[in-house]
Amino acid sequence: MSRRYFGTDGVRGKVGEHPMTVEFALRLASAAARVLAPEGGSVLVGKDTRLSGYMFEAALEAGFVAAGVNVLLVGPLPTPGIAYLLKTLKCDFGAVISASHNPYDDNGIKFFDREGGKLPDELEEAIESWLDEPALTRDSQALGRATRVDKQRTVYQLFCQSTLPAGVDLSGLKVVIDCANGAAYKVAPRVLSDLGADIIPIGCSPNGRNINDGCGSTQPELLRMTVAGVKAQAGIALDGDGDRLVMVDHLGRIVDGDQLMYVLACARQAAGELHGPVVGTVMSNLGLELALKERGIDFRRAAVGDRYVLQMLREEGGVLGGETSGHLLCLDRTTTGDGLVAALQVLAVMKQTQKSLAELAAGMQKFPQKLINVRTRQRFDAASHPEVAAAVKAAEAAMAGRGRVVLRASGTEPVFRVMVEGEDEAAVAAHAAQLARVVERAAP
């Protein structure tokens, strides 16, 4: 059975258009309750700062309570904060209302299991199997209750602080923190300040419509200018739901997820704390793989999506992984991708080594990448097409082991992604253009 609504990170779409309607959210809550708490239980519900979060929170609350599940409403809190509190509050599952880095007129709903992990595909398929059924309403004596637990965010703040190594604080560091006007706007500045950092907050004044608008990890230009302007040692950019991290060094240069993984992997290795392979994705920069190889660190690639990175880390016994976009997993510190926790780990390395972020990231050379989206009328297995396979082989041979080709069908639109990376930017662009033409010709 293929999933109709769940993508790589829950159900997502434009507010007011199917499936992001109140009626669908109500049925989704009912379906999730049937699968994840069939005998009743409790669910923790959190959200980011989108205006539509109020109506989806109310719809989920109604669906869960009607199905006999007790609802704990924590309000705006980063997605990883929900994952952490699930265990401390001993809930059966969690629900987060967020469209992550998307604009405010999008929204989404995703679920976590009782351990704070994202649901496997088979559970999401099971939830979808109930979506055509009317919402369940139990007898009055079996209904659930709803309770506000807003103050529990301080528990998450203390947890984040506890992930720093013993005896390490952030005193002496000037840090700009950009919360994308999203879910971390309260907790992130407080955590950094409580740890002793001198903070300059931006993107911390949500109004329901300005989430990810000219700020945050996907639009870090304001952060770059601010870091340089106030002469900060580093800048931190989170996305709307706080699970993605991009940083800026003291020179105002972006340090992306691949570079941050390199910094953390080297630090963990030096401390004897790196176990198993570092896991990236098929889109992770080749420079990361080669830089880790030079240090004797095993690197593996999972499918795109932090859920698949997490799955491979668990299978291989690894503790560190992530995506170029900044979804970073530090499983020796927490159970899911957490932008704030990852940022704290990087700041701790800076403090312990007395090196700038620029110095720490300098050991990884980022290879130029060229991505071309080829529109197709329908999906097809491009990699097995003889003409495409021959073109890929020719491009890889020309790059002589210092470059690679990735062909990937989009999971959300009729597009085939052609990505080439290598040492020579002009050659990379030429190879990508040639491959895109071949894929376009081969498409049915």
pLDDT in tens, 168-225: 999 999 999 999 999 999 999 999 999 999 999 999 999 999 999 999 999 999 999 9
Q: What is the mean pLDDT of residues 333-338?
A: 91
Q: For position 381, what pLDDT does the model report?
A: 78
pLDDT band of residue 408 (cuts 50, 70, 90) is confident
pLDDT band of residue 2 (cuts 50, 70, 90) is low
d(CA 431, CA 433) in angstroms, rounded, equals 6
In this predicted model, what pLDDT tens digit does every residue of 273-298 receive, in sequence order? 999 999 999 999 999 999 999 999 99
What structural domains and CATH numbers belong to the chain? 11-152 (3.40.120.10), 163-361 (3.40.120.10), 369-442 (3.30.310.50)
In this structure, which long-range contacts are made by residues 440-443, counting pairs with CB atoms below 8 Å and at least 24 apart in sequence?
440/374, 441/387, 442/380, 442/382, 442/385, 442/387, 442/388, 443/374, 443/376, 443/377, 443/380, 443/382, 443/416
Q: For position 411, what pLDDT does the model report?
A: 63
Tell me the pTM: 0.91
Q: What is the mean pLDDT of residues 319-334?
A: 96
pLDDT band of residue 270 (cuts 50, 70, 90) is very high
Q: For position 410, what pLDDT does the model report?
A: 74
Q: For position 416, what pLDDT does the model report?
A: 87
In this predicted model, what pLDDT tens digit does every residue of 349-388 receive, in sequence order? 999 999 999 999 999 999 999 999 998 877 777 778 899 9
Sequence-ordered list of residues with C-beta below 8 angstroms from that of 180, at least 6 positions apart, any chain: 101, 203, 211, 212, 215, 216, 217, 237, 238, 239, 240
Cβ contact 241:79 at 8 Å: yes
In this predicted model, what pLDDT tens digit does every residue of 3-26 receive, in sequence order? 789 987 899 999 999 999 999 999
In this predicted model, what pLDDT tens digit does every residue of 382-403 receive, in sequence order? 778 899 999 999 999 999 888 9
Strand-pair partners of 403: 422
Q: For position 443, what pLDDT does the model report?
A: 86
Q: For position 427, what pLDDT does the model report?
A: 95
Q: What are phi and psi of 152, to 5 degrees?
A: -65, -10
Half-sphere exposure of 335 (CA within 13 A, CB side): 18
Catalytic positions: 100
**Residue bearing the bigger pLDDT, 156 or 305:** 156
Q: What is the mean pLDDT of residues 315-338?
A: 95
pLDDT averaged over every residue in the chain: 95
Q: For position 93, what pLDDT does the model report?
A: 98
pLDDT band of residue 412 (cuts 50, 70, 90) is low
In this predicted model, what pLDDT tens digit does every residue of 52-97 receive, in sequence order? 999 999 999 999 999 999 999 999 999 999 999 999 999 999 999 9
Residue 1, pLDDT > 60, answer no
Q: What are phi and psi of 14, to 5 degrees?
A: -75, 130
Q: For position 157, what pLDDT does the model report?
A: 98
